A and B are shown apart, each in its own frame.
Chain A
Amino acid sequence: MAASMTSVWGVRVLSKIIHGHLLPAAAVRHQTVRSRFLHTAPVSSSAVSVSEEPDVLYQRLSVRVKGHDKAVLDSYEFFATLAAQELGLNLQKAFEAPKHIDKLTLLKSVHIFKKHRVQYEMRTHYRCIQLSRVTGSSARVYLEYIERNLPEGVAMEVTKTAVEKIPEHIQKPLWDDGKQETPSQ
C-alpha cells in the first residue's frame, strides 16, 4: 500500500507545515494531483501498517475538482460527500466556485472576409469539497478512493493544511526569560 501510494503521489511533495496556533491556516501546496496515476493491479488485503510515529493531523483538506461538464461534477460531488459521511469525516463545506470561460475570436475564413469571425469558448466548472480535522491515514484512504473513481475529463487539486506543535526554541518569547542582555558597543 505504501509503495503504491508513493507512486501515486509522485516525487514532488512540497510539504510546508505551518503552525496552527500562530497563523490561520495558510495553504500547504501539495502537488497538483492530476488524474494520471498508474493503472496498478488490485491492492493486496494486508495493507494495514502499524507504526509508532504519530499520525500527521490536517486542519483542513480541500479537494477542488474541475471539469467541462457540470452534471458530471454534480454527481462526483454527491459521491465524494457520501464517501466522506460514510467514513465519518467532518464535511465542512461543499460549494461551487464560479466558472471560468476562455474565449477565442478567429477569422471564419482562411483568406480575407475580415468582418466575419467565429467565436469559440472553453468552459471550466469548479467544485470544492472541504473537510476539517482529518488524520493523515484517513486522508490517505479517502483521497485514494476519491482519485481512483475520478471520471474521465475531470481534474483534481488537493490542498492539505497540517497542524504541528510549536518547536521548542520559540515556545517561550525571549523577553520572558528575565535575562538582562548587555548592549554591545
Chain B
Amino acid sequence: MCKNMATSLVRQTKLLSIVTSQFNSAACFRNIHCTAACLKNRAARIRVGKGDKSVTYEQAYHPHDIGHRKGWLSQHTSNLQGEDEAAERVVEDVFIRRFMYGTFHNCLADEVVIKRRGNLLVICAMMIQKLLPSKFYFLIGYSEELLSHFYKCPVKIEMQTVEEKVVYKYL
C-alpha cells in the first residue's frame, strides 16, 4: 500500500515538473516539490532504464556497496569510534565539492575524493581534457590558494586527466 502511494506520488511529481517547466519559460520560476524528500532507498542510486544512460563505476554501485565494491569518497578520522567533529568535516566536504564542481565547469569526470592527512587537505580529482593544460594549472593554483585561506590549512590538489568520461556500463 505504501509502495503504491509512493509510486503515485512520483507520477504526480513528474506531471507537475512538466507543467512547471512550461511555466518556467514564461518567467515564472516557482517549483513544487511533492515527493518525500528523504527517500533513503533511492539515495545515490541511478535507476535501471532503457540502456542509453552511461554510468561510471562510482555511480553504478549503490551505497550499501561502500567498503565492499566501492571506496570512500571522503577520508577523515572523525567518524571513527571515540573521535569527534564529524559535522564540521561534512560541511567542509560539501563546500569543497561544490567549489570544485563550479570552478572546473563541466570538466569533472568523476566525483572528487577528499583526503585529510593531519593538517593537510588533499583533493583528488579526475578531469576531462576540455581545457588547455595552462588553464588547468591556473585553476589548480587559484583553488588551492583560495581554499587554504578559507580553511587555514595547506591544501593540495592532485589532478589526473582523461580524454573522455570512463564509462562502466549503460543503464
- Asked whether, in the complex, the Cβ of A39 is within 8 Å of the Cβ of B116, the reply is no
Q: Which interface residue of A102, A115, A152 has the most chain B CB atoms within 10 A?
A: A152
B binding-site residues for A, Cβ under 8 Å: 2, 36-41, 67, 71-72, 75-77, 79-83, 115-120, 122, 154
> What chain A residues lie within 8 Å of B154 (beta carbons)?
39
Q: Which 9 A-B pairs have the closest CB atoms?
A: A153-B75, A152-B115, A155-B77, A124-B81, A118-B40, A152-B75, A109-B36, A110-B38, A39-B120
Bound complex: CA A72 to CA B19 (Å): 51
List residues 147-175 of chain A with CB under 8 A from any CB of chain B: 150-155
Q: Give the shortest distance, in Å, between B78 (CB) and chain A (any CB).
A: 9
- Asked whether, in the complex, the Cβ of A39 is within 8 Å of the Cβ of B118, the reply is yes
Q: Give the shortest distance, in Å, between A180 (CB) and chain B (any CB).
A: 55
A–B complex contacts, Cβ < 8 Å, 20 sampled: A34-B77, A35-B77, A39-B154, A66-B80, A66-B82, A67-B80, A68-B67, A68-B80, A100-B81, A108-B38, A109-B40, A113-B36, A122-B81, A123-B67, A150-B118, A152-B115, A153-B77, A155-B77, A155-B80, A155-B83
Q: Mark A103-144, 1 if CB is under 8 A from B, else 0.
A: 000101111010110100011100000000000000000000
Bound complex: CA A118 to CA B40 (Å): 7
A binding-site residues for B, Cβ under 8 Å: 34-39, 66-69, 100, 102, 106, 108-111, 113, 115-116, 118, 122-124, 150-155
Q: Give the shortest distance, in Å, between A167 (CB) and chain B (any CB).
A: 35
- Asked whether, in the complex, the Cβ of A106 is within 8 Å of the Cβ of B40, the reply is yes
> What chain A residues lie within 8 Å of B77 (beta carbons)?
34-35, 67, 153-155
- Asked whether, in the complex, the Cβ of B76 is within 8 Å of the Cβ of A68, the reply is no
> What chain B residues lie within 8 Å of A152 (beta carbons)?
75-76, 115-117, 122
Looking at chain B's contact residues, the main secondary structure is: loop
Q: Give the shortest distance, in Å, between B155 (CB) and chain A (any CB).
A: 11
> What chain B residues lie within 8 Å of A109 (beta carbons)?
36, 38-40
Bound complex: CA A106 to CA B115 (Å): 28
What residue of chain A has the Cβ atom nearest to residue B83's Cβ? A155
A113 and B118 in contact, given A39-B154, A153-B76 (Cβ under 8 angstroms): no
What residue of chain B has the Cβ atom nearest to residue A155's Cβ? B77
> What chain A residues lie within 8 Å of B39 (beta carbons)?
108-109
A68 and B81 in contact, given A35-B118, A152-B117 (Cβ under 8 angstroms): no
Bound complex: CA A34 to CA B81 (Å): 13
Bound complex: CA A116 to CA B79 (Å): 26
Bound complex: CA A35 to CA B122 (Å): 14
Q: Which interface residue of A34, A37, A151, A153 has the most chain B CB atoms within 10 A?
A: A153
Bound complex: CA A100 to CA B36 (Å): 33
With A66-B80, A122-B79, A153-B76 known, 16 other A-B pairs at CB within 8 A are A34-B77, A35-B117, A36-B118, A37-B118, A39-B119, A67-B77, A100-B81, A109-B38, A109-B40, A113-B2, A115-B2, A118-B40, A118-B41, A122-B81, A123-B67, A124-B81
